Structure 1
Amino acid sequence: MNCVTLAEVALKTHQRNPQEWSAKPFIYVDIESVDRILKRIENPKQLIGSEAPSRARKVVNENDVLVSTVRPNLNAVAKVSAAMNDEICSTGFCVLRPDQKKLDPDYLFYFTRHPSFIQYLTDRATGASYPAVSDKIILEAKIPLPPLPEQRRIADLLSRAEAALHKRREAMRLADELLKSVFLEMFGDPVRNEKSWEVKSLEDSCERKGQYGSGASAIPFNNAKPRYIRITDINEDGTLNNDCVSPSTDEAEWADCILKDGDILFARSGATVGKTYHYRKQDGFTIFAGYLIRFRPNPKILHPEYLFYFTKTEAYNKWVKSKQKVVAQPNINANQYGNELILPMPPLEMQRQFAVTVEKSEKLKEKQRKSEKELENLFGALIQGAFQQ
């Protein structure tokens, strides 16, 4: 099959400085705006020109494909919708604007998700702590170029397979929403506390104060070592992604960071501050990194499932946002989590009843995850075969 470089089938793009129109509103897409699992723009920022960061420069049009130049192994890519036409993205993206006389936008989008493209960028990334590639490297990548009708046929096939995968994921999301509703029905709103439960601080509800994780750097996963959980490994729903790494140091440095069943981790810094993860023993031999804080619920008064789903409530999200406003860089330390986060404390037996409901839901979700995995494998096989050179 004929192969060409992306530069040969991409149109030139341009930049614009929003600061030149200080009062004009615009939508800004940074790296964090792209959902790496769904491969789409989820949470772009609404700004005015005077608020534009220095990296807000690249103009995007409908059907452009954005490829993150930072940590290319994570494959943060997205296709620009009509709603984002003539808006701005970060210079941390390479904006691929397909010449639609030669290249179908959806075909290009799926190509940027192909393992060979990801590996091509990963192999050429430079910088140990902040690996990145240039736009030039991305544009030098070669793409198979069948006739446009064949490109559209391939894109349509992949789109239908992906739609089935999204439906499975949506079913799992709705199951999580149902549990949140059950939580509120059983325990009431945590702020109003209309059921007049006793209240305690997080620290007073746990066996010990919040503990920061290991400061070790990450290395490729090693079966002889534990999995090393970082903030970036935790999905929005509290599950773990597949980006497994291990700590670079020996056990003496991280022995006290080994997770135990029921531990809850809280993210303490950056855009993901407040995100939580509930460790269960089926997650295997695991430790946690320094930008996470561990709290271990006191089993006599606090059930881990109750605490975890408390952190999924709107009341908790508002508390996190209120703490973010006090400093320029969002940060909540162990003392703030431990002493300022207040929890209603319903009877432990009620918490256990809720945990039983969660367990039943998790069994159903486990079946859904297996189905999702099968669909992921199907999609992966289709995308693997679609771009063979």
Structure 2
Amino acid sequence: MNARNLDLESQLSRKAYYDRIGVDSMTPLWEVLGALVPHKPKSPAISHVWKYADVRDRVMEAGTLISAAEAERRVLILENPALRGQSCITQSLYAGLQLIMPGEVAPAHRHTQSALRLVLDGEGAYTAVDGERTTMRRGDFIITPAWTWHDHGNLGDRPVVWLDGLDIPIVRFLDAGFAEKSDSEYQAVARPEGDALARYGSNMVPVDFHQQPAEPTKVFVYPWDRTLASLKAIANSAPDPHFGHKQRYINPATGRSPMPTMAAFSQLIPAGFETRPYRCTDGTVYVCLSGGAEATVEGKTLRLDENDVMVVPSWHSHQFRAGPETVLFSYSDRPVQQALGLWREHRI
């Protein structure tokens, strides 16, 4: 009997064995080991840019089809093109563009998923978190921590659009999702605007305040004007070769990420500066807040203009080339990876 027949006989024997053990809901590890424990991360997600100038009309059209109250949250999900139908931009992160029209209220609710908002377009809206409202201004980074009551309203005369970032896929993977609707459409105001920022965001906290490391920040708004002033102030120093001038947002009370599952960053890339290639295990969502740049992701060049949203999957080499001075906001699942000892980076 030749080697070819022996190979065929072996294959048939194995197939018959796999069929037998399949009846007992078992399968052989050796057939899938390479995929389960790869030599390097292999994300099924792909890099992609959503050009805001192209999708804005689609977002506004949603405002003519369904009300914020009826939808509860009028959002167009940004689905990774390689993960369609899964409501995620990476395997662990969700992103969407939310629209609220003048006079509308997105009713109060709470959920175990943590959420961030980045205001892109329009003015006059607010977010309320546990009884405190904050006016939403372009570039503001706003948090609705897990299981906190929150609602949105638009008191102005213009539509307002912001980016939603949530840890929905992480919570879904853990089967730990809960949500609750409020009996009232919006929360009663319990504290004046700016109260949380004054109590917890000025290098001071109330004298009897103590926070566990895993708890989310009490500061739920990081104003754009403060972020930009900080970036401008450090821009006189030499830029980091891989990042330009990049800062991470923190919980002022602990120095940790504002949310236990998601990290957020802002970076200023000087005019004409080109960052060196970089990769990390946390897939990252970027938003161009000012200026414009070319991004090269695994050899693919993508153009970023104001309000564009881009995803860079895990372990994808990427770099930026700024035209004018450019400011990027980004968020990722880095805190989860670091807590589990999984996070890696490679500065090329």
TM bucket normalised to smaller: under 0.3
TM-score w.r.t. the length of structure 1 is: 0.21
Larger fraction in helix: 1
TM-score w.r.t. the length of structure 2 is: 0.23
